[in-house]
Structure 1
Amino acid sequence: MSIGIDIVRGQAIQSIGALSHEQRLTVMTDSRNMVENGLFVPLKGERFNGHQFLEQAIQNGAVAAVWMEREPLPENVPEGFPVFFVRDTLVALQSMAKSYLNQVNPKIIAVTGSNGKTTTKDMIHSILSQTFKVYKTQGNLNNHIGVPLTILSMPEDTQILVLEMGMNHFGELTFLSQLAKPKIAVITNIGESHIEYLGSREGIAKAKLEIVKGLRKKGTLIIDGDEPLLANIHSHAFQIVRCGYGMQNEWQITEANESVDGASFSLNGKQERFSVPVLGKHNVKNAVYSFAVARLLGADMEMIRHGLERLRLTKMRFEKVAGMRGSVLINDCYNANPTSMKASVETLKALPGFERRVAVLGDMYELGENEMALHESVADVLTKPLTHVVTIGSKGAWIAEGLRKRHSESELEVHTYATKEEAVTYLDSLLDEKTIMLFKASRLLALEELSDKFRA
């Protein structure tokens, strides 16, 4: 990483660029992480101040630090330890990322959407890494801090960088897109995530479309062609590729089939089939987004097929797990909103070979003033062949209430618990070789603790 002196204000012992030529620096913002040759960039927020932890950062491998001018420098800084004074360490972090991006100059693929960002990112990486040097967002480092950290952590020989981009307010994707300047941008779908801040699904669509603000000239936007809120997008500045199940799509999904081991599909009515080792028709659509990206970058059909078949997803995204007493568990606990929860339930209903289908559903957050109605709306899909619905949490209870309102004499067995711990005994009693059990809720509920408890 070679960073110019232009971001530095005040006195610097030596430029970050010169230092990085001597030793490859690992940018760190968390002083608790152990690294080699770390450049510590302490960030400051309303409730935290990383400048308080320079000593810990040095103990864990920091060999230099970027420092906000108005923050006092600790007296015990080792003699000769390089410190670079700047007006704002976050701006410095973002400036370093931009400079390093220009130096490496990879092709950028940006992925956003209410659901499926991480899965689509993983699929794109799985296909393209067979031929290119590809680096992708690790975990969910997808915001104004995480994207620069991802950029700064990519190897110097990276040819393609796949960046996941998240947001919960207007303007955030504009900034990330203009920072990265993607060649290809993907919008996986429009759900209800962050509707609390964006007002409506129309507002969410508008915010997601900010991803084109930094799209390179003659770049490509890949979208969910089945989403009415994206139906009227037109541009002479970039190409638009639509993917989905409807006939209006350039890449139309035909003959999608599911099993407990994954899904398969064909495109545009052709006999050639593709398989992915993940469940759900929504993940078929994610696979088609990755297909469209790969075709734009010159991948042939065999390369795409092999890349999808060898896919390894980030954990807790519809993760199939062997459960106790021969049961099958689906850990889909990373996050949830009504759209993704309904899709997961529909997949659970479609999987053949189980007598007992149990949906364990919990609280969803950031849904705004209509959160009760949005929870209750999940009941629309809580029908046979489901056999049991178990809700966790005070908001999760609204799902059960919605089920009672819609189906006063539901054939499903419904149980409501305030906490995960209260549900353990009942859920344990349902587990045998005839059972498949889905766990789905927002990240804050940590519902994977139940899934982990019932692993074989």
Structure 2
Amino acid sequence: MSIGVEIIRGQAIQILGDTSRLNKLNIMTDSRKTVADGLFVPLSGHHFNGHRFLSQAIENGAVASLWMEREPLPDHLPEGFPLFLVADTLKALQSMAKAWLIHCRCKVAAVTGSNGKTTTKDMIYSILSRRFKAYKTQGNLNNHIGVPLTILAMPEDTEVLVLEMGMNHFGELTFLSQLAKPDIAVITNVGESHIEFLGSRAGIARAKLEITAGLKKRGALIIDGDEPLLTQIHTHAFQIITCGYEDHNDWKITGIKEGTEGYGFSLNHGIKEYRIPVLGKQNVKNAVLSLAVAKRLHVSSETIKEGLEHLSLTKMRFERVRGLHGSLLINDCYNASPSSMEASLETLKELPGFKRRVAVLGDMYELGSNEEKLHRGIARVLTAPLTHVVTIGDKGAWIAAPLLEKKEAAGRPEVHSFHDKTEARQFLAGLLDDQTVMLFKASRLMQLETLVSELSI
């Protein structure tokens, strides 16, 4: 959506050109994409400089541009084309986002976590959009550039903004939280993602808790109450709401009914059963975290129930795909950590009605010096009723290694390890029939979804 020109003017050191014809502008950072009435924000990094692509941005709809004051002014511009000269275009983008949030005066719910933050964001939005004018992070625009772009894209009449916040170093969530100043913050869990940079799960927990840095007074932090690294926090600055299976949780999951289409579950109070049409037992807890957000905003139980039952999730999160020869493919390729991979495997093992359960697993990244140990540790859940384990990649081979090293192979799944996807494709195709369910899981760089596409109808 469009932001007001007054928001831009508030961040400009100097304005060159005619701004009288400008009213509302749409932010564009990619000069290759067509944007009507675009405000081009040329960003610069170690290996690129967006200022070099102003002409292309103008061809694709830019009618004004931010401009780093230390950059040489462009030689050729349309007559009267406005340039807003700023000290730093990224900081200006972030400052505009702060100003737009103040202008819109919406509630902000921010979501982070090692696993499940995108799914939880989608769940929260599915519920809140039934009661409020809501907007959410599109795709994974969840960093120091993506969060400001999300804020600046939300309509002016937005009542609740649902922001996904990612990180891989200390300090990043502190910045994002102080930028967005959430009313509600959610931490889905603490896994091993980015342990290469954060040192330990305790370090990861500390980094995730940075989401409270900008949390408004009398706000709420909603957490996985079964995680001791999170429940150790004590404060009077905001309310802490816990969700999980253990008795001490504010929202306690008291029963789960699983099926081929999703899960039903009960809680310690309120409606006796909610349903989610999505696979992955871990998504039950994500749903309860989302429910807690909605309750904080006084959404009724019936509306929550409807929102959960009509989910539309971002692709490649336990996505069901029709495979060749009547098989079922589970596309869980968006990313992977040891904890999320184990959770996905447990769900695969629990799916009823299949004689052949195949786990296709690949490399996991950013696991630091213990990466081999963490890959090999996956073997402890590679048990019946899994029938086949297929690994892809050099790191993926570590997953298969403990099973292949066993002298006694009785009872373990059939194991195959391939160097790349091309080698694996023909073998996988030969396993597909109407009694087969096949899970694909690896880090984003592996792009296992190309296999899913090749094996689907």
Provide TM-score, normalisation by structure 2. Answer: 0.97
Question: Contact 1:10/1:85 (CA < 8 Å) preserved in 2?
Answer: yes
- How many angstroms does 1:13 deviate by? 3.1
Aligned to 2:94: 94
C-alpha distance in 1, partners of 2:145/2:223?
25
Say whether residues 1:220 and 2:220 are aligned partners.
Answer: yes
- Which amino acid letter does the alignment assign opposite residue 435 of structure 1? T
8 Å CA contact 1:189, 1:223 repeated in 2: yes
Letter in 1 for 2:162: V
- Matched residue type, 1:261: E
Does residue 29 of structure 1 match 2:33?
Answer: no
Name the counterpart of 1:432. 433
Distance 1:23 1:361 in 2: 51
Q: Separation in 1 of the partners of 2:10 and 2:295?
A: 39
Q: Supply the distance in 1 between the matched residues of 2:108 and 2:271 (Cα, whole angstroms).
A: 32
> 2:16 maps to what in 1?
12
| Cα distance in 1, alignment partners of residues 402 and 189 from structure 2 | 25
In structure 2, the CA distance between the partners of 1:227 and 1:72, relative to structure 1 (3 Å rule), is same
Question: Which residue is 2:313 aligned to?
Answer: 313
Cα deviation, residue 299, structure 1? 1.1
Where does residue 454 of structure 1 map in the other structure? 455
Report the counterpart of residue 210 of structure 2 in structure 1: 210
Q: Is the 8 A contact 1:123 1:290 kept in 2?
A: yes
Which secondary structure does the structure 2 equivalent of 1:25 belong to? strand
Q: CA deviation at 1:173?
A: 0.3
C-alpha contact 1:275 1:305 (8 A) present in aligned 2: yes
Aligned to 1:283: 283
Partner of residue 256, structure 1: 256
TM-score (norm 1): 0.97
Residue 296 (1) aligns with residue 296 (2): yes
CA distance in 1, matches of 2:26, 2:425: 43
Once the two structures are TM-superposed, the CA of residue 270 in structure 1 deviates from its matched residue by 6.9
AA aligned opposite 1:430: L
Amino acid at match of 1:296: R
Q: Which residue of 1 aligns with 2:417?
A: 416
Shift of 1:408: 4.8
Matched, 1:233 2:237: no
> Aligned letter for 2:433?
D
Q: Which moved more, 1:90-99 or 1:65-74?
A: 65-74
Residue matched to 1:131 = 131
Structure 1 unaligned spans of 5+: none
Shift of 1:70: 1.2
Counterpart CA distance in 2 for 1:7 and 1:436 is 54
The structure-2 alpha-carbon separation of the partners of 1:66 and 1:411, relative to structure 1 and needing over 3 Å to count, comes to same
Matched positions, count: 452
CA RMSD for the aligned pairs?
Answer: 1.4
* CA distance in 2: counterparts of 1:408 and 1:260, whole angstroms: 33
Q: Match of 1:171? A: 171
Quick one: distance in 2 between partners of 1:206 and 1:298? 30
Match of residue 383 from structure 2: 383
Deviation at 1:77, TM superposition (A): 1.6
Q: Distance in 2 between matches of 1:189 and 1:117?
A: 9
In structure 2, C-alpha distance between the alignment counterparts of 1:186 and 1:25, rounded to whole Å: 32
Partner of 1:327: 327
Give percent identity, aligned residues only: 65
Listed one character per residue, the Cα deviations across residues 27-67 of structure 1 (whole Å, up to 9, x for unaligned) are 01111111111000010001111111111111111110000
After superposition, where does 1:124-163 map in structure 2 within 5 Å? 124-163=124-163
Moved more, 5-14 or 110-119: 5-14
- Report the CA distance shift for 1:160/1:270 in structure 2 as closer, same or farther (over 3 A): closer
Contact 2:15–2:82 at 8 Å: present in 1 too? Answer: no
Whether the 8 Å contact between 1:169 and 1:198 is mirrored in structure 2 is: yes
Equivalent positions of 1:74-93 (< 5 A) are: 74-93=74-93
Partners of 1:225 and 1:249 within 8 A in 2:
yes
Once residues 255 and 414 of structure 1 are traced to their aligned partners in structure 2, the CA distance between those partners, rounded to angstroms, is 34
1:67 pairs with 2:84? no
Structure 1 window deviating more from structure 2 (402-411 vs 123-132): it is 402-411
Counterpart-to-counterpart distance in 2, 1:191 and 1:411 = 27
**Mapped partners of 1:221, 1:282: distance in 2:** 20
CA distance in 2, matches of 1:155, 1:215: 23
**Residues 1:181 and 2:185 are matched in the alignment:** no
Matches within 5 A, 1:36-51: 36-51=36-51
| Aligned-partner Cα distance in 1 for 2:302–2:407 | 47
Q: Deviations over 1:339-388 (max 9, x none)?
A: 10000000000011000000000011111111111111111111000000
